[in-house]
Amino acid sequence: MAMNVGGDADDEIIGTINTTPLVDVMLVLLIIFLITIPVVTTSVKVDLPKEKNLIRETKPENVIISVNAAGSIFLYDTPVKNSTDLVARMKTFAAKEPQPEVQIRGDAKSDFEAVGRVMYAVQRAGITKVGFITEPN
């Protein structure tokens, strides 16, 4: 009863990684993704609305809040002291039926923080319709 316990000099150590199983798995995943992507993107048929970038007229009942480059807030043309003053003024507009749209005119050079404070104050007052006024191209 002879038994080979040790390694022979004929056995060679394989120094490379066998990438064939890895390539097989990657090809299977690629095929699965190629099959499922069209199903995901076109599963529900929806006719999206078309929009033309037209200059929109500001209605007289709209509330216009301006933020200048320094971050000062104006309701129409009158300066607003602070956020609590703006919330108090916005609550009077929020009580109207139908509720007017608040349009925010933010200066391009103003910080977003000032515009964010205006948006937060309008939200706290209960106004649901908010828009931004921009310059057309």
9-45 pLDDT, tens digit each: 666 777 888 889 999 999 999 999 888 776 655 444 5
Counting every residue written for the chain, the total comes to 137
At the topology level, CATH places domain 63-132 in Nucleotidyltransferase; domain 5 (3.30.420)
* Beta-carbon count within 10 A of 61 CB: 11
How far apart CA 107 and CA 115 sit, in angstroms, is 9
| pLDDT value at residue 121 | 92
**pLDDT attached to residue 49:** 52
Residue 136: cis peptide before it, omega within 30 degrees of 0:
no
pLDDT of residue 100: 87
Give residue-wise pLDDT tens across range 48-96.
556 566 666 656 678 888 888 888 888 888 888 888 899 999 899 888 8
Which two structure tokens, joined as six digits, stand for 24?
């097989």
Taking the C-alpha atoms of residue 124 and residue 83, their distance in angstroms, rounded to an integer, is 10
